[in-house]
């Protein structure tokens, strides 16, 4: 019976809203680029070739070290293909990814346009070949500070369109407050971008409240620690704020000891709009297929429940109405 649930979960079409672009880079891909470019990255890999880090904060520095080999628009075009091949192999038909101008030209708008162009061309090719649709969310990095974030937000505002659809906020949640980035989010909102921010991953319920109040976001990256405050859970449910939940990431990084103890099911039961994503899949030894099958196995979620979560993600996607309609249609007919 469980086997059948898991097989059906694996085969379902999937929608992912929370995927860090460089965090999706397969380690072999990064090693290959390092070899080509004669960059010594040996310190960031385990003997078995996987990424090596001790904890979340070390993960952030390993992540940044890996980006050293992503030096040109062409490198990002190749990364686009590598990431989308992995996602498509898991059955993902639509993905929103966090892009950081910091890693794509250092926050310079003209350079950013070139990177973005290369990524979009590669995404268009992947859409034709693999049937997966990609959209981008510019994501300043919190621990780089508000001034650098403003440069990224400006890149976002200057390139906002039907492909570059949102602004996010990632990085070390313990550094700076959401209000330090209010200027960036105000600029993005003015430019017509949709808004999300990481909160309630390493910070408690207050970090979620602050992201909602100070940044006006309609989605929260993670947000799972809202569970520690029942009044906040009620409010999120009432306001229809969507959580981009990454269960495998949370368990791998030790926020929860096991998936069974993860609050995703309790949040859903409380009426919160939960969605499922991988965050940084090769870093956390996960895939969208694994996320869905693990949820089926742990919570006994059947195809109907998982499809409902996928539909929630499609409805919460930041893409334009026509793209969303065709996405919902693909889910319906699958």
Catalytic residues: 201
- 91 or 221: whose CB is closer to ligand ADE? 221
Whole-number CA gyration radius for the chain: 18
Q: Which residues, 6+ apart, have CB-to-CB distance to 215 below 8 Å? A: 169, 178, 181, 182, 185, 195, 197
Burial 169-187 (b: 16+ CB within 10 A, else e): bbbebeebebebbeebbeb
- 279 or 294: whose CB is closer to Zn ion? 279
Which residue from 225, 182, 181, 219 is spatially nearest to 197, judged by alpha carbons? 219
Name the binder of 225 from Zn ion, ligand ADE, none, CB < 5-8 A by kind: none
Name the binder of 102 from ligand ADE, Zn ion, none, CB < 5-8 A by kind: none
By CB under 5 A, tell whether 244 contacts Zn ion.
no
- 86 or 279: whose CB is closer to Zn ion? 279
Instruction: Select from 16, 86, 96, 201 the one that contacts ligand ADE (CB under 6 A).
Output: 201
Q: How far apart are CA 27 and CA 321, in angstroms?
A: 36
By CB under 6 A, tell whether 280 contacts ligand ADE.
yes
- 75 or 279: whose CB is closer to Zn ion? 279
By CB under 6 A, tell whether 16 contacts ligand ADE.
no
Which residue from 149, 146, 230, 203 is spatially nearest to 220, judged by alpha carbons? 203
**Residues between 129 and 188 that touch ligand ADE (CB under 6 A):** 170-171
By CB under 5 A, tell whether 16 contacts Zn ion.
no
State the minimum distance, in angstroms, from the CB of residue 295 to ligand ADE: 18
State the minimum distance, in angstroms, from the CB of residue 231 to Zn ion: 25
By CB under 5 A, tell whether 75 contacts Zn ion.
no
Number of residues that bind ligand ADE (CB under 6 A): 10
By CB under 6 A, tell whether 225 contacts ligand ADE.
no
State the minimum distance, in angstroms, from the CB of residue 197 to ligand ADE: 10
Instruction: Select from 96, 279, 291, 294 the one that contacts Zn ion (CB under 5 A).
Output: 279
- Helix axis angle, 2-11 to 303-316, nearest 10°: 30
CB 4 within 8 A of CB 297: no
Q: Which residues, 6+ apart, have CB-to-CB distance to 103 below 8 Å? A: 22, 67, 70
10 Å CB burial of residue 55 (0-12, 13-18, 19+) is exposed
Tell me how far CA of residue 324 lies from CA of 29, 265, 313, 327, in angstroms: 31, 26, 10, 5
Q: How far apart are CA 293 and CA 5, in angstroms?
A: 8
State the minimum distance, in angstroms, from the CB of residue 207 to ligand ADE: 12
Q: What is the DSSP letter of 241?
A: P
Write out the two tokens for 41: 């990255």
With CB atoms as reference, the residue minimizing the distance to ligand ADE is 170
Q: Which residues, 6+ apart, have CB-to-CB distance to 286 below 8 Å? A: 248, 249, 252, 278, 279
- 90 or 307: whose CB is closer to Zn ion? 90
State the minimum distance, in angstroms, from the CB of residue 179 to Zn ion: 20
Residue range at the interface with Zn ion (CB under 5 A); choices 2-10, 156-164, 273-281, 308-316: 273-281
Instruction: Select from 9, 12, 21, 23 the one that contacts ligand ADE (CB under 6 A).
Output: 23
Instruction: Select from 279, 292, 306, 319 the one that contacts ligand ADE (CB under 6 A).
Output: 279
By CB under 5 A, name the binding residues for Zn ion: 279
By CB under 6 A, name the binding residues for ligand ADE: 20, 23, 63, 170-171, 198, 201, 249, 279-280
């Amino acid at each position: 019976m469980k086997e059948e649930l898991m097989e059906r979960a694996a085969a379902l079409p999937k929608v992912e809203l929370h995927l860090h672009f460089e965090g999706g880079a397969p380690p072999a891909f990064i090693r290959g680029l390092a070899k080509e470019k004669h960059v010594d990255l040996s310190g960031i890999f385990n003997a078995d070739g996987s990424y090596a880090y001790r904890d979340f904060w070390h993960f952030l520095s390993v992540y940044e070290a890996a980006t050293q080999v992503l030096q040109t628009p062409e490198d990002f075009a190749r990364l686009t293909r590598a990431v989308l091949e992995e996602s498509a192999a898991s059955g993902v038909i639509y993905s929103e990814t966090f892009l950081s101008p910091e890693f794509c030209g250092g926050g310079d708008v003209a350079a950013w346009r070139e990177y973005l162009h290369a990524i979009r061309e590669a995404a268009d090719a992947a859409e034709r070949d693999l049937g997966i649709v990609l959209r981008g969310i510019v994501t300043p990095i919190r621990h780089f500070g508000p001034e650098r974030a403003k440069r990224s937000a400006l890149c976002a505002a200057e390139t906002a369109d039907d492909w570059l659809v949102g602004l996010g906020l990632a990085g070390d949640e313990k550094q700076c407050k959401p209000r330090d980035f209010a200027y960036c989010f105000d600029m993005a909102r003015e430019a017509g971008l949709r808004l999300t921010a990481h909160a309630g991953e390493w910070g408690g319920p207050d970090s979620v409240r602050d992201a909602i109040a100070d940044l006006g976001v309609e989605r929260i990256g993670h947000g799972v620690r809202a569970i520690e405050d029942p009044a906040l859970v009620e409010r999120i449910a009432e306001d229809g704020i969507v959580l981009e939940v990454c269960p495998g990431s949370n368990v791998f990084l030790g926020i929860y000891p096991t998936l069974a103890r993860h609050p995703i099911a309790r949040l859903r039961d409380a009426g919160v709009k939960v969605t499922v994503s991988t965050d940084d899949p090769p870093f956390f030894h996960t895939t969208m297929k694994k996320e869905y099958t693990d949820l089926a196995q742990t919570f006994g979620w059947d195809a109907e429940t998982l499809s409902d979560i996928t539909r929630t993600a499609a409805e919460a996607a930041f893409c334009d109405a026509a793209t969303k309609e065709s996405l919902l249609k693909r889910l319906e007919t699958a």
